[in-house]
Amino acid sequence: MNAVAPGWIATPMSRRARDDEERYARITARIPLGRWGAADDVARAIGFLVSDDASYVTGTILNVDGGYSVG
C-alpha cells in the first residue's frame, strides 16, 4: 500500500489561507519550489503510483509538497 501526502495545494479548502496575504506569503516562502501546488500535481503523483511504472513501489508515502517537508 502507498499513500500520497499533499502539501499546500490551491483548492477551495485552502482559500482562507491563500486570501490572508501574510499567511500566504509565509507559507509560500517556505516552499522551495516557490509556489503552491495544483490539484493536477497531486493527480499526476497518484497516476504514477497506480501505473505499471510503480509496480515495484510499495509501502511508501509520497510527499507532493514542493519540498515543504524538507524546508
Q: What's the pLDDT score for residue 64?
A: 98
Evaluate if residue 71 carries a pLDDT over 90. no
- 3-class secondary structure, 65: coil
Q: What's the pLDDT score for residue 35?
A: 98
51 vs 54: CA distance, rounded Å:
6
Q: What is the pLDDT of residues 20-57, one digit of tens each?
A: 999 999 999 999 999 999 999 999 999 999 999 999 99
30 vs 65: CA distance, rounded Å:
11
Q: What's the pLDDT score for residue 1?
A: 92
4 vs 38: CA distance, rounded Å:
14
Pairing between strand 3-6 and 61-64? parallel
The grid coordinates of residue 38 equal: 495544483
Q: What's the pLDDT score for residue 22?
A: 98
Evaluate if residue 60 carries a pLDDT over 90. yes
Segments making up each domain of the chain, as ranges = 3-70
